[in-house]
Amino acid sequence: MLRRLHSLPGLFAALLIAALALTGAFLAFDSIVDRSGSTIPATGQVSVAAIAEAVQARHAEVERIVRTASGTVIAYYFEADLPGAELVDPLTGQAIGPHEPSNLTRTVTNLHRSFLMGDAGRVAAGLGAAAMLVLCVSGAMLLAARLGGWVAILRPSRGSLSQRLHCELGRFAVIGLTLSALTGCWMSLATFGVLPDGAAAEVAALVPPSGAARLPPGQLAALQAVDLSALRELTFPYGADLTDTYTLTTAQDIAHVDAATGQVLDFTPNGLARQVHETIVMLHTGRGVWPLALLLGLAALTAPVLAGAGGVIWWRRRAALPTIRQNVGAQSADTIILVGSEGNSTWGFAVTLHAALTKAGHRVHAGPMNSLAPRYAQAKRLLILTATYGDGDAPESAKLFLQRLERASGALPVAVLGFGDRSFPKFCGFAEQVTEALRAKGWPVLFDTWQVDRKSAQTFADWGKVLGEEIGTKLELAHVAARPKTTALELSGRVEYGAESQTPTAILSFALPASGGFWRRRRLPRFEAGDLVGILAPGSDLPRFYSLASASTDGVLEICVRKQPGGLCSGFLHELPPGGRIEAFIRPNPSFRPSRGKAPVILIGAGTGIGPLAGFIRHNTRHRPMHLYWGGRHPGSDFLYGPQLHQYVEDGRLARLNTAFSRVPGGGYVQDRLAADSAGVRDLMQQGAQVLVCGGRDMAGGVARAFEAILHPLGLDLATLKSEGRYREDVY
């Protein structure tokens, strides 16, 4: 609901808001320029009487003097019955030059207020402001929900470039945009009389003026008593009419001043409504308060970018939504699949499961977890596939599930499959919550909840086998996430290790084929070290993912591959001859890279986990302190990147190289090396170091335990570091 509330007005009003925001930004910056060009006398330095006297001395018939919010003083007068306007020096009252309002400013102001379309345009502008208000509020709530609550609102954002851009810019601009939208709505309603603006109707003096001969304005006590900074407008008495008065408008009131005696005849204070309205106008325009104008202007500038990035996110999400063929109605299905998803990838897995079960003769219904029915008439089992967001929270399509489960009556045998990312502190946390809730409600569980890390098709296929055995149906779940467009690459380099220790491992480099043909891609797809490359072995639809040791700017795609016993893809890669081709695609992995800044980086890995870490070091040309802890078997047979790492230490890209070899006398593992170096690691953590761990699950577990012990004396823990993005894992 919140998402729909955020995206619908966003899409419909994107253009409207972009136009309002850009014109608003122009006006905000224009007011700053205006203000910077105005001389502002100190309070008490210049009176209204002095300015009026100086202007009157130049023009026989002065109509009025106006002081704008940015401090500019303008005099309007008649010369030989022709109207004129001049800018007045606020210190001396002397003329600076003719007042010629900028056509551009006037046009942009009209565009901002009414899109140059009169009342219809004013209504549209008001609706635009309202849509922006809905977007700001729903966006802030959505962000808080995604990041794990309001306390976590400043946590680093995650996801694709457009998601991060949308989140970071939104976080920066939300206060300014909300203020603009709220005050804009108010002003629109005031324009149409729905809210009062407190403007006093022009009234004649209540007390009759003396009618005696006029004094020069410089001698009028009421004008002498008012400081120029308080002036809004001073209207002069008309021509020869001795019964006419000065009308003096200040921030506080409107007064009539006798032109002969200089006495205040009467005054009308500005009511509360007027004061509120003026404050709203000031908050909307920032006029007279340049830091506010700057904030509003900068915030407004982000709106078109937010709209663009939001549009990309919306489009990608839509494009990723699968269509489910032969989806049976919930009440006539024997198997119910419920999906908890936010980015839609879990739906892709659900479609594969749906197709396999349907092929096996089941009547299958798939729907979002939020659609859990109180009971299912014919269902024999419920299969729940759910992602996790925020801090172990429900994804969008499962937000209502736990509530609905409370009300559900017909218990079904159920299996839960969690989708998540191991680098988050609460890995598959929501799947666990769901399992607990089902248990507490007494629903029979078919088998224990499984966890799928980073959309692993392999884990999904393995889970399918267990499910198949449980329900007596052979299930082959070959899930290929909407087969991505692949690029053909040629093997251009190979360095082999590990022959002696029976662990054949190779660093493989791939380049674009030399004779690609006219239509073939001439450039490598973009990637960075730490991203993943998916490789499809011939005859297989299941990609295998490898962490990249190079960036596309290196001109080659480099990976470290250990030959797995019976491994289809690793076997294929190890046997590939020079020039042999692979079909590959890139999957960005932005959460596993050194964060920006100068703080030290501790890189930890074992075996082929060195790949992305070596890539980070190779690109560390700014010599940020990087400390590598790496574990292998034997320095003689599998010291991957050995010569390069020594070179990096020499040229300063690597601050320290710490290795641990397990197959040498007195050797150990990388976590032992860390534990032995506790004081040094603690010191780095106190300097704000970020930790990146890459390698097998057992190694990562050992490293995590070693780290908990290292962090303890600092009053830190791993969960906190993970939530701050300071401890990240790429584990397989």
Ligand X SMILES: Cc1cc2nc3c(=O)[nH]c(=O)nc-3n(C[C@H](O)[C@H](O)[C@H](O)COP(=O)(O)O)c2cc1C
Nearer to ligand X, 426 or 673 (CB): 426
Distance CA 120, CA 688 (A): 56
Q: How far is the CB of 152 from ligand X (least distance, A)?
A: 10
Does 463 bind ligand X (CB under 6 A)? Our answer is: no
Structure tokens at 663: 């197959």
Say which amino acid occupies 679.
Answer: A
Q: How far is the CB of 342 from ligand X (least distance, A)?
A: 4
* Gap between the terminal Cα atoms of the chain: 36
DSSP 591-602: TSSPPSSSS-EE
Nearer to ligand X, 310 or 429 (CB): 429
DSSP 154-215: TSPP-SSHHHHHHHHHHHHHHHHHHHHHHHHHHHHHHHTTSS---PPPP---SSPP--PPPP
Given 426, 633, 722, 726, the residue binding ligand X (CB under 6 A): 426
Does 543 bind ligand X (CB under 6 A)? Our answer is: no
Does 114 bind ligand X (CB under 6 A)? Our answer is: no
CB atoms near residue 217 (< 10 Å):
27
Does 424 bind ligand X (CB under 6 A)? Our answer is: yes
507's enclosing H/E stretch is: strand 505-511
Given 26, 186, 314, 419, the residue binding ligand X (CB under 6 A): 419
Does 159 bind ligand X (CB under 6 A)? Our answer is: yes
Task: Give residues 372-401 in contact with ligand X (rule: CB under 6 A).
Answer: 387-392, 395
Distance CA 238, CA 191 (A): 30
Q: How far is the CB of 6 from ligand X (least distance, A)?
A: 15
Distance CA 543, CA 484 (A): 10
Q: What are phi and psi of 489, to 5 degrees?
A: -130, 155
Nearer to ligand X, 277 or 426 (CB): 426
Q: How far is the CB of 349 from ligand X (least distance, A)?
A: 8
Distance CA 80, CA 651 (A): 83
Nearer to ligand X, 41 or 156 (CB): 156
Does 317 bind ligand X (CB under 6 A)? Our answer is: no
Which stretch in 183-191, 418-426, 527-535, 700-708 sits in contact with ligand X by CB under 6 A?
418-426
Task: Give residues 132-151 in contact with ligand X (rule: CB under 6 A).
Answer: 146
Given 427, 463, 585, 629, the residue binding ligand X (CB under 6 A): 427
Does 421 bind ligand X (CB under 6 A)? Our answer is: yes
Q: How far is the CB of 641 from ligand X (least distance, A)?
A: 30
Q: How far is the CA of 432 from the CAs of 109, 338, 385, in angstroms? A: 55, 15, 12
Q: Which residue is nearest to ligand X (CB)?
A: 420
Task: Give residues 329-348 in contact with ligand X (rule: CB under 6 A).
Answer: 341-346
Q: How far is the CA of 446 from the CAs of 24, 366, 468, 471, in angstroms? A: 59, 18, 11, 9
What single DSSP character describes residue 449?
Answer: P
Does 455 bind ligand X (CB under 6 A)? Our answer is: yes
Q: How far is the CB of 343 from ligand X (least distance, A)?
A: 3
Q: How far is the CB of 479 from ligand X (least distance, A)?
A: 12
Q: How far is the CB of 163 from ligand X (least distance, A)?
A: 7
**Where does residue 73 rank: exposed (0-12), middle (13-18), buried (19+ CB within 10 A)?**
buried
Size of the site for ligand X (CB under 6 A): 25
Given 128, 429, 530, 605, the residue binding ligand X (CB under 6 A): 429
Q: How far is the CB of 158 from ligand X (least distance, A)?
A: 4
Given 24, 262, 420, 631, the residue binding ligand X (CB under 6 A): 420
The alpha carbon of residue 716 and the mean position of all alpha carbons in its chain are separated, in whole angstroms, by: 27
Distance CA 417, CA 565 (A): 28
Answer positive or negative: Cα dihedral of 218, 223, 224, 226. negative
CB atoms near residue 474 (< 10 Å):
10
Nearer to ligand X, 455 or 726 (CB): 455
Q: How far is the CB of 450 from ligand X (least distance, A)?
A: 13
- Which residues would be at the binding site for ligand X (CB under 6 A)? 146, 158-159, 341-346, 387-392, 395, 419-421, 424, 426-429, 455
